Amino acid sequence: GNSVTQMEGPVTLSEEAFLTINCTYTATGYPSLFWYVQYPGEGLQLLLKATKADDKGSNKGFEATYRKETTSFHLEKGSVQVSDSAVYFCALQTGANNLFFGTGTRLTVIP
């Protein structure tokens, strides 16, 4: 079956620290992988995506590389800001537009 496993939160970092949020997946076929972000009180927004192995998605300083050999799609950012505080969701998509989400990781960045 299809599933996504994310590292448990919450994660608290100081401003300008390095961020890694781990994500691994199990899927049939060749899924697309996504990171969505949910800022406080808002809906989900697509942060970045990768549609095939070795693709790197990037946006707003965040990056994630589709690693088929380790079935991973870890999210990284070199220097977080207070405005990055949010809940981050890893997700995979198979055919028929089915999106499977991880449990979400809450990030809090303190000044």
Give the residue with the Cβ less far from another protein, 2 or 24: 2
Which window, 16-24, 45-53, 58-66, 73-81, contacts another protein (CB under 8 A)? 45-53
Return the exposure string of 29-63: e unless at least 16 CB atoms fall within 10 Å of the residue's CB, then b: eebbbbbbbbeeeeebeebbbbeeeeeebeeeebb
In the complex, what is the shortest distance from the CB of residue 85 to another protein, in angstroms, rounded to a whole number? 14
- The site for another protein (CB under 8 A) is made up of 32, 34, 36, 38, 42-46, 49, 51, 87, 89, 93, 96-99, 101, 103-104, 106
